Structures are given as structure tokens and as C-alpha cells.
Structure 1
Amino acid sequence: MNHRDERLGSAPLGKLMFSLALPSVAAQLINVLYNIVDRMYIGHIPGYGNAALTGVGVTFPILTMISAFSAFAGMGGAPLASIQLGKQNRQRAEQILGNSAGLLVLFSVILTAFFSIFKTPVLYAFGASDATIVYARDYISIYLIGTIFVQLALGLNAYISGQGEAKIAMLSVLIGAVLNICLDPLFIFVLHMGVRGAAVATVLSQAVSAIWVVHFLVSEKSVMRLTLKNMHLKKDVIKMIAGLGISPFIMQSTESLVTITLNTGLQRYGGDLYVGSMSILMSVMQMITIPVQGITQGIQPIISYNYGAGNKERVKATMKRMILVCLTGTLLLAGVAIFAPQIYTGLFTDNKGLLELTCKVMPVYFLGISIFGIQCACQTSFISLGQAKVSLFIALLRKIILLIPLAVILPKFMGVMGIYRAEPIADVISVLTTSAVFIITVKKVLRNM
């Protein structure tokens, strides 16, 4: 077995966690730049930047849904492959990798066809107005061409991280993101392509990332190799991937339902300006949660590998440290949104009305996110240990069971501010519930190891 994955079970824990988490955080931050940089440039287009920003914000649920399917195959399979590496079963790990790749290709074809055909009614359902639909449609029409690249780049990159190659995983994202940052102003402003230019830049950048990821996984540098033979879908493997992948899928796909609920509510009780504020809030939400998700993604292979190897004390120590680090991260990043919202808001708009509204609602909206690091760490622990059912419940709890109903009910009594207040209420209840479930479940799992 390659020594690079064996260090997951033997290297000093603190140093190992840092070496894996840091590149993973960087990769997640860089990855989110694809959409955030687009919005920064789009929001400053002379003459129609605000309307264009709102229009692109309306496409967010579609982008999230595409990412969710990549998470289903990638995050559903990568922990299972890491566990198999811990058991010294490389052949099974490669079979899981190949089936995930096959799923990603299948998902790409279905998603591209569906959203290309139904994009206009879908965008209106997601909160587009007659003033913003043209920008939303221009952006998503081009973005959908690159669905296959998004699927492969995001989904298969989890398998690079899963074998302890966090730096390689970071580089796969960095290459595309740097290219995107360079191409955005060229296509948007120099070539005067506007919103279409932002989409073209993103597609080209994701294509380069996808090529990098696939090239690594088929090379001899990878501990587990991607082959065409293993891409032939097998029922038992797909069932395993689906059992664990449904949780991250729900976590990401429900962002679409949340965005639909929030945007339509804001359009009804407020108008385009309020929908524009939510576009900024969603971007800031990514800036806060993505680094924490990067930490958990980097640390996940350590838990999975040692769970497969039967190393109980190392599993326990890793989870404890991960919870502490994640909580510290959300306290610091959400603290900026609560006490100095203008720092985040100024990145996306220079419109006075939009600035004032967003700075007013941001401290309310992000209050509960300050302790959300606990939930991120617990959720990743469930996935790392193969606890599919518990992970599924936690994924449903925050958004489906709590946030969406609250976002519909509260504005009937509090007006438009009720929509913003739904988020912190759902976050706090969810974190408390997850913590209790985590304590009970992990005690049982460790006892049975």
C-alpha cells in the first residue's frame, strides 16, 4: 500500500490535520471565487450592474443543484473509498471511484438537458422578475454548457482529498480559479460581453480544473486509479454511494429550495432590492461556511481511514479537535458580518440603497451562523463514520424541517424582516439538536469498533 495514505494512520495528529486542512480550506475558498468573483464584477457593470447582479443571484439554485449532484457521487463515495484504503482494500476503493465517475457523467447529461429546456419557467419560479430575467437567462444558458466540467472537477476532487493529497486537490481548484479571475474582466468589460462573459469565463476555468483532476486520478501518482472498466455502474456500489451521498446531496440541493423560498418571499414582501440583498447574503454565507467546510473535508480522510483501520483513540481525538477548530472559525468569520457588515457588503455593490439594506439585515441573518461550526464538524463526522441515516436526518433538519417553514410563516407576522430572522432561529435549534445526536451516536459507534 502506498505510504502516502498510510500516514493518515501514523503521522502526528496535529501536524497531519493542519497539513490536510490548510490546502483544503484554500481549495474551498478558491472554489467559491468562481461565483463570488463573477458577482463582484457583474455588480459593478456600468448602467445595469444592480439588475444584472440580482439576475445572476436568481440562478444560484441551479448552480447549487448541479454542485449537489457532484456531492452525491463524490462526497458519498470518497469516505467509503478512504475506509477501504484503511482496510488495505485498494481494488474496492478503485471500484467506488470508478462508479462515482460514471454517475457524474450520467448526472451531467440529465442536468444539462433538463435545465436547458426549462430554464425560463424555472428562473421565474426562483424569483426572477421581468427586469432581471434576461440577465439570469444569459448567464445560465452558457453556464449549463460546462455542467460536465463542474461535475468532474468537484465530484472527483473529493477522491484526491480522500487519499490524503490535499495539496493536489487545492491545485486543481486554484488553476481554474486564477484563470477565472483573469478571464472575467476580459470577457465582461474588454470584450463587452457583460453577464455572458462572466459565464464563458467560468466554463473555461472549470474545464481546465476538470482536466487536471482526471489527469491526476488516471496517473500513477494516485493511490487509487480511475479506469474505464470501473466506471461501469454496479448496483451494490451505487447503493453504498447513494446511502452516504444522499446526506451531502440534501445539504447542498436544499440550498436551492431555501433560495427559492427566500427569494420569492422577499419579492412578495419587499421587491427587487430585497432579492438583491439576499444575493449578497448568500455570497457572504459561502465566504463564512466554505472555509469551515474546507477544514472538515481536509480532516475527513483521517477519520474514515482510522475508522476502517480500527484505531478508536485516533478517531476520537480527531473529531474533538475538528469541532473546536470549526467553532472557532465560524465565531470569527460570522463576527465580522455581525459587527462590521459593511466590510462584506462593500465587496458586492456601491449602490447606496442596497448597501444600507444589506448592512441592516446582515447582523440578524448571520447571528446563528456564529456557532454553526459545531454542526459542520458533527455532520462530517457522521459521514466519515459511514452513519448514513443519522447524517440524512441532520441534513434534513436545518433547512427542510426548520428554515423553509419558518421563512414562510414568520413574514406573515413580522413582515419582510421575518424572512431574515428565520435563518438564525433555524441555525440555533439545529446546532443544539445535532450536538445531542452526535454525543449519543458517536458513543455507540466507538463502543462497537
Structure 2
Amino acid sequence: MAKVSSDQLGIEPIGKLLIKQAVPASIGILVMSLNVLVDSIFVGNWIGSIAIAAINVVLPVSFFIAALGMAIGIGGSSIVSRALGSGDKEKALKTFGNQITLTFIITTAMVALGLYFVNDLIPAFGGKGAIFDPAKTYYTIILYGVPFLALCMMGNTVIRAEGKPKFAMVAMIIPSVGNLFLDYLFIYVFDWGMHGAAWATTAGYLLCFGYILYFFLSKNSELKIGLPHFGLSMPILQEIGALGFVTLARQAVTSITYLLMNNILFNLGGEAMVAVYAIIGRMLMFAFFPIFGVTQGFLPIAGFNYGAIKYDRVKESIYTAIKYAAFVASLVFVVLMVFPDFFTALFLSNRPDLPPEELVANAFVMEHAPMAMRLVFAATPIIALQLIGAAYFQAVGKAIPALLLTLTRQGFFFIPLILILPNFMGELGVWLSFPIADVLATIVTGFYLWREIKTKLIPDV
């Protein structure tokens, strides 16, 4: 790959730059999403739909610990982007060193706690009945690899902050491809069941960590840190914490959402209803990959140009990112409205030797998931404004509005809705909560973003 300088973030045309940043990000997220999707398809077809529900129970805990790395990464990368934009490379180096130290310390401690409280956490997140044993098996193995995943997620955001999206893309592709190959080997060939699914995923994390380490030790990275940079600096930690808390709070709310959803749906329809939500969750990860790609591509562009006081370019990046993301979101909407039965069927086995309980669960999922999918994705065309709007405030270092807007959809609207509507509307109330929360959150974010553009992003002088 040709050597790329972060200075191009402030020079190249915004449209071209966003495509250059967003396409690799989208490809990387696509491969990761396909990994999650195909992994679930393998598990559903080779182990069973209850196994999909078991993985869905474990994800909030493991993802929350991994999200600590992402939070530190995004919070620190905002500083790195702005520091590189203003020419303060020493601050960028110190920030990166602090990110590594902080990620290692926090995630290792969280893994220890997660393993100690395993028997309490799994039932709390909906791992009850037939779900408990496979969930515990998967959870215990996955947790050993989570610190490496956290370091990968942190390092990936720093690579983007340097303006090198192709390397970040490769870092996302390597563990996904490795996981899928090992899924086939461990689950299908060796017949290791849930143990195989878990070890395949953990091995994927280690592959990713190896590549991230290679990037920063090679000549491709501008951030050549030494031992002094690892020493924790309180001002930098405070800034990382303020900005990273936005991402951490979002993931914490996501984990709470999983906890509530798994328990509410288990009470409404047992293990099979949790499996319906697991399939919906996989489709959410997969279907939004191009939108998240645009958002990831937007972050370093907005941060660098804000740090360089090029406000016209910041505004142009906002408008362009919303336009691109809205276009792909509309395509996602059309596909999922037309083919929900097809996507649901991918996750279900049609083997004639399935146990009776699996056959009953599969029939339930096939009956309920397509309608749920249509409702969950009903407001997809407008979600781009909410995601880009919240991302802007994080990119430019405005932690409080970034936090509030990030929490708007799930924290302020979705969680209250799923606690209220199912009491009156049952299962329908659960799925209607998704588009209602999307619409309300987009209205609020649109207002604050419009006010920011009109009052804060004055023309370059």
C-alpha cells in the first residue's frame, strides 16, 4: 500500500475524500458483519436455533468489555486527529501511548470480574432454561480473547485517525475471514459444537491483534511511540474519558437493551422468541454496514478539519456524509422490506434429523421473524441523520452533546418504549418500539445539528 499522509484530510475534495475513507471502512464493516451473519448461520444450521439465542445472550457482556477499547480508541482518536490537524504531533503520540495502557489495564480487570460473576451474568441477560449451558460454554471461552479484541478496536480507530483507512479495512477483514474458516473447521469438521464456535471467534481476535501490532511497528504508521508515551497523563486521560464515555455509554445502553429485550421476549415466547431477536440483531449489524462505514469515514475528516479551523470543509463533510448514508440506508430499507422471509430462512436448519424442540423453535422463528424485521427496519431511511449528527459532536471534541445525542435513540426513547408498549401490545409493542425511537431520535438530533451549523461553524476567515 502506498504511504498516505494525514495532511490529505485537509486538502482533498470532501466527496472524494469521504469515498476514500468510507469505502474501506464499509468493506471492513461488511466483512465483520458477514462474519457475524455467517457465523450465526453456521451455528443455526450445524448446532441449532437455541445456540443462536445463547450467543445473543453472551454478546452484551463480551461486547461491553470490548467496547471499552473502542471507547478509548474513539475518544483518543478524536484527540489524535485534531492534534495532527493542528501540527501537535507530540500530543498525538502521548495520546496513543495512553490509549494502549488504559485499554490493557481496564479490559483485563473487566475480564476477571466477568469470569468471577459468570453464573449471575448469564441468567441476568436472558440465558435461562435451555439457553444457559451453551451460553456459559461460549461466554467463558470468548472472554479470554476479549482484551485482544479491545486492543484491536482501539488500534483500528487510531489507524483511521492517521488517515489510513485501507490498513484499518484489512485489520477488520483478517479476523473475520479467519473466524469463518475456523468455524467450518471446528464446528463442521471437528464437531466441537459451541466450544468450536467460541474458539474460532477467539482465534479471530488474536489474528486481528497480530496485524494491528504489525502496522504500528512498521513504517506505515506515523505514530512511533516510546516508553515515555505509555506513562499516564491526567489531562489526556480526562479528555479521552470525556469523549470515549460517549461510545462506552452507547454500548452500556446497548447491553442494557439486550438484557431487557432478552428477558421481555423470553417471558413472551420462551427461547424461540429470543432466537427471533438474535436474528434481528444479526441483520441490524449486517444491514447497516454501509451507513456505519460512512460514519467511520466521516469522523477523521471532520476532526482533522475542525482542528485545522477549516469550518467550510467540516460543513461540507456533514452534508456529504448524510447524503451518502441516506442513499445506502434507503437501499437497505427496500431489500429488507421485500425479502424478510429469505433472510430469516438463512439462519434455520432444514435437516430432517433435528430434535423435536428444534423443529418447534424453527417453525416459531419462521412465523414471527419476517414481520418483526419489517417493523424494526421501518424507519431505516432517516437513520443516517441521527448517526452522522451524533458522530459530528464526538469528532470535534464536544463530549456532552455527543453523549446526549448518542443516548437519545436507545436510552431516552427505546428503553422506555419497550418497558411500556409490550404491556399493552405484547410482541407487537416490542417491534414497534424500534421505528418510533428512530423517528424521535432523528428529530432531536436534526435540530441540534442544524443549530450547531448555523451558530458555530462560521465561514473560514
Normalised by the length of structure 1, the TM-score is 0.96
1:435 aligns with 2:446: yes
Instruction: Determine the structure 2 residue equivalent to 1:217.
Output: 216
RMSD across aligned positions (CA) = 1.6
Residue 89 of structure 1: CA displacement? 0.9
| Alpha-carbon distance in structure 1 between the residues aligned to 2:248 and 2:454 | 26
What residue number does 1:168 align with? 167
1:227–1:332 Cα change, 3 Å: farther
- Residues 31-68 of structure 1: CA deviation (Å, up to 9, x unaligned): 234433321111012xx511111111111211321232
Greater Cα shift, 5-14 or 225-234: 225-234
For 1:365, the equivalent position in structure 2 comes to 376
Larger displacement relative to structure 2 (265-274 or 211-220): 211-220
Structure 1: state its 5+ residue gaps.
none
User: Percent of counterpart pairs with the same letter?
Assistant: 29
Name the aligned partner's letter for residue 281 of structure 1: I
Q: Does 1:111 align with 2:117?
A: no
The alpha carbon displacement at 1:3 in A equals: 6.3
Amino acid at match of 1:39: S
Aligned residue identity for 1:93: A
Pairing 1:39-438 to 2, within 5 Å after superposition: 39-45=40-46, 48-350=47-349, 351-438=362-449
- Structure 1 partner of 2:16: 15
Shift of 1:334: 2.6
Aligned position for 1:29: 30
The structure-2 alpha-carbon separation of the partners of 1:3 and 1:366, relative to structure 1 and needing over 3 Å to count, comes to: closer
Instruction: Compute the displacement of 1:376 (Å).
Output: 1.0
Task: Return the alpha-carbon distance in structure 1 between the equivalents of residues 102 and 26 of structure 2.
Answer: 26
Q: Which moved more, 1:348-357 or 1:396-405?
A: 348-357
Secondary structure (helix, strand or coil) at the match of 1:447 reads coil
Alignment check: 8 A CA contact 1:218 1:227 kept: no
Structure 1 residues 226 and 330: CA distance shift in structure 2, 3 A: farther
Task: Give the distance between the partners of 2:226 and 2:379, measured in 1 at CA.
Answer: 44
Given that 1:329 and 1:373 are in contact with CA atoms closer than 8 Å, whether structure 2 keeps it comes out as no
Change (3 A) 1:3 1:333: closer
Amino acid at match of 1:136: A
* Residues 275 and 10 of structure 1, relative CA distance in 2, 3 Å threshold: same
Q: Secondary structure at the match of 2:191?
A: coil
SS at match of 1:192: coil
Q: Is the 8 A contact 2:35 2:177 kept in 1?
A: no
Assess if the C-alpha contact under 8 Å between 1:173 and 1:209 holds in 2: yes
Residue 184 of structure 1 contacts residue 197 of structure 1 at CA under 8 Å; is this kept in 2? Answer: yes
Find the counterpart in structure 1 of residue 353 from structure 2: none
Q: Relative to 1, partners in 2 of residues 1:95 and 1:27: Cα closer, same or farther, differing over 3 Å? A: same
Q: Distance in 2 between matches of 1:205 and 1:332?
A: 30
Partner SS for 1:372: helix
TM-score (norm 2): 0.93
Match for residue 5 of structure 2?
4
Deviation of 1:335 (Å): 2.5
User: 1:116, 1:335 → 2: CA distance?
Assistant: 42
Using the TM superposition, give the Cα deviation of residue 417 of structure 1 relative to its aligned residue in structure 2, in angstroms.
Answer: 1.6
Cα distance, 1:404 vs. partner? 0.8
Q: Secondary structure at the match of 1:446?
A: coil
Answer yes or no: is the 8 Å Cα contact 2:34–2:286 preserved in 1.
no
Does the CA-based 8 Å contact 1:83-1:307 persist in structure 2?
A: yes
**What SS does the aligned partner of 1:132 have?**
helix
Asked if structure 1 preserves the Cα contact closer than 8 Å seen for 2:54 and 2:134, the reply is yes
Q: For 1:417 and 1:312, locate their aligned partners in 2 and report how far apart those are by CA, in whole Å.
A: 45
> CA contact under 8 A between 1:64 and 1:253: conserved in structure 2?
no
CA deviations 1:214-266 (Å, max 9, x no partner) are 22123332122244331221111010011111112122221111111111111
Change (3 A) 1:30 1:63: farther
Distance 2:159 2:13 in 1: 21
SS at match of 2:458: helix
Residues 35 and 110 of structure 1: CA distance in aligned 2, closer, same or farther (over 3 Å): farther
| SS across alignment from 1:29 | helix
Question: Is the alpha carbon distance of 1:8 and 1:354 closer, same or farther for their aligned partners in structure 2, counting shifts above 3 Å?
Answer: same
Q: Which amino acid aligns with 1:265?
A: I
2: CA distance, partners of 1:34 / 1:107: 27
What do residues 362-385 of structure 1 show as CA deviations (whole Å, max 9, x unaligned)?
A: 111211233111111111111111
Cα distance, 1:344–1:331 mapped onto 2, change above 3 Å:
same
Conserved 8 A contact 2:22-2:298: yes
Residues 50 and 272, structure 2, Cα contact 8 Å, conserved in 1: no
Specify whether residues 117 and 441 from structure 1 end up closer, same or farther in structure 2 by C-alpha distance, changes over 3 A only: same
- Gaps of at least 5 residues in structure 2 are 350-361
- Look up the SS of the partner of 1:95 in the other structure: helix
CA distance in structure 2 between the aligned counterparts of 1:411 and 1:9, rounded to whole angstroms: 49
CA distance in 2, matches of 1:281, 1:308: 39
SS of 1:8's equivalent in the other structure is helix
In 1, Cα distance between the equivalents of 2:257 and 2:289? 17
Judge conservation of contact 2:65–2:111 (CA < 8 Å) in 1: no
Report the Cα distance in structure 1 between the residues aligned to 2:182 and 2:448, rounded to whole angstroms. Answer: 46
Q: Matches of 1:335 and 1:390 in 2, distance apart?
A: 32
Amino acid at match of 2:266: Q
Q: Which amino acid aligns with 1:445?
A: K
Task: State the alpha-carbon separation in 1 of the partners of residues 41 and 226 from structure 2.
Answer: 39
CA shift, 1:448, in A, is: 8.9
More moved, 139-148 vs 31-40: 31-40
Give the secondary structure class of the aligned counterpart of 2:129.
Answer: coil
